[in-house]
Structures are given as structure tokens and as C-alpha cells.
Amino acid sequence: SQKSPLYSCDVTKDDEIKSVFDKVTQDFGALHFLVHCVAFAKKEDISGRTVDTSRDGFHLAHDVSAYSLIAITKAAEPLLEKEGGSIVALTYLGSEKVVPNYNVMGLAKASLESSVRYLAADLGKKNIRVNGISAGPISTLAARGISGFTTMLENHRNRAALGRNVEVEEVGNAAFFLLSPLASGITGEIIFVDCGYRIMGA
Ligand code: 0WE
């Protein structure tokens, strides 16, 4: 509908990013928040050995999953600075710990998380906050295509302090918090919504 329009955007294309934010400018004139939840690596690069990652596969994963945050942040900056804004990016523990098969996506998420900090420093004086949410594994459509994902969910549940897996709504709630004025003093942070998985030593 007019109130919640959808605009498609291939984040590897600068002209498509520009076109989306031109349309948002026309339709709304200002923007208060932006959620980055896009990632991609070739199937052969999220299985087997990281040492076998091709230059091309490394580039694609980093372009779609990490550079895109910088590109959309830059495009949205004029809209976000009008009334202050908040940006949230979704990330995963594989950025800092070795998770079997996550491979080049872990490298890309490390870059994304570092980008969250550098962008937060750039945009803080414009009252634009930038944070990340590191969610535990969730059985989404994309995740079901990953071999061994069901076993991962089971391991996660067994190790997590809360003894269960993360629900989509819990990630949404954390995003809502970070995007809202309740989080007005928080920027450059990665918040874990993982049912206490990462804190466990074994
Ligand atoms: O970031 C992710 C996965 C994102 C993703 C998913 C796909 C599936 C289809 C990136 N690229 C692709 N490429 C495709 O062709 N997660 C946090 C979910 C995830 O993916 C894994 C995980 C977890 C957790 C892959 C291996 C091991 C663990």
C-alpha cells in the first residue's frame, strides 16, 4: 500500500541503491531507521574449507554482505540526518569464532561488524546511531538450504544458557529497541540475541 511501499534493490548495483533512496525521498522526505539484513555467499564457499575460497567468491560475499552496509548508509545519510536516525545490521557469531562451513561469510560478517563501529564514529555527530544484532541460528527459508542446519539448531539449543533456540520475534524486539529512543545512548555495539550461547565455555 501507499503507507508501506516495497522497493526492490540489488545492493551490488549503485544505481539501484540510488533509485531506492530517491523514491524514499519522494514518498516520505525523511527516514528514522534502516535495517540491513542481506547476505550472500556462493554455496561452494559456505561448505568445505575456507582455504579453498576463490577470489571471486570472497569478493561476492563481501560485496553483498559487508560493502552494502556502507553503500546504503551513505545513500540514506541525507534522509537520516534530518531528524536523527538509527541503523541496525544483522550479524552472526561466525564473525569472531570458527563455525564449521560458515567460512567466507564469517570473514564478511567480521568486516560488517567493524563497519558498524567505523560508521557509528562517522555518523554520531549527525545523531545517527549504528548497531549490530548477532542472532543465534534461526530456521529461515535460506537457512534450510544449508546442510547440517538441523544439527546446528539442536547443538545451539543444548548449549545455550536459556536451553532453547532464538525466535524470530526476539530478534525483531531487539531491533525495535535499538531503533527506538530507548537505545539513544547506544552506538557502535553488537548485541547478542542468542539465548546465552556465546557466554558458555563448553
Ligand atoms: O548468515 C547466515 C547465512 C546467510 C547466507 C545463506 C545462504 C544460503 C543460500 C549466505 N549465503 C547463502 N548462499 C546460498 O546459496 N546465517 C547466519 C545462517 C547460517 O548460515 C550458515 C550457518 C548459519 C548459522 C552456513 C554454515 C554454517 C552455519
What does the CA dihedral 82, 8, 59, 124 come to, rounded to 10 degrees? 10
- Length reported for the chain: 202
pLDDT (0 to 100) of residue 36? 98
Local confidence band at 144 (pLDDT 50, 70, 90 cut-offs): confident
Which residue, judged by its Cα, is nearest atom 21 of ligand 1? 102
Q: Name the residue of 44, 46, 113 whose CB sits within 8 Å of the most ligand 1 atoms, as the mutation to test its pocket.
A: 46
Residue 31 DSSP class? -
Report whether residue 101 contacts ligand 1, using a CB cutoff of 6 Å: yes
Strand order from edge to edge, sheet including 128-135: 33-36, 85-91, 128-135, 190-193
Q: What pTM, to 2 d.p., does this model score? A: 0.97
- pLDDT band for 154, please (50, 70, 90 cuts): very high
Show the 3-state SS of 12-23: CCHHHHHHHHHH
Whether 152 contacts 137, CB under 8 Å = yes
Averaged pLDDT for residues 83-93: 98
How many angstroms from the chain centroid is the CA of residue 29?
A: 25
Confidence of residue 171 (pLDDT cuts 50, 70, 90): very high
Q: Which of the listed residues 11, 49, 105, 190 should we mutate to test ligand 1's pocket, taking the one with most ligand atoms within 8 A of CB? A: 105
CA of 124 relative to ligand 1 center, distance in Å: 31
Task: Give the cell for residue 32.
Answer: 528514522
Query: Bridge-partner residues for 192, per DSSP?
Result: 134
Could you tell me the pLDDT band of residue 147, with boundaries at 50, 70 and 90? Answer: confident
pLDDT digits (tens, 9 = 90+) for 37-71: 999 999 999 999 999 999 999 999 999 999 999 99
Report whether 92 contacts 111 (CB < 8 A). Answer: no
Can 7 be counted among the known catalytic residues?
no
Instruction: Assess whether the C-beta atom of 137 lies below 6 angstroms from ligand 1.
Output: yes
Task: Decide if pLDDT at 174 tops 90.
Answer: yes
pLDDT of 82 above 60: yes
The fraction of the chain above a pLDDT of 70, given in percent, is 99
Q: What are the tens digits of pLDDT across the range 22-36?
A: 999 999 999 999 999
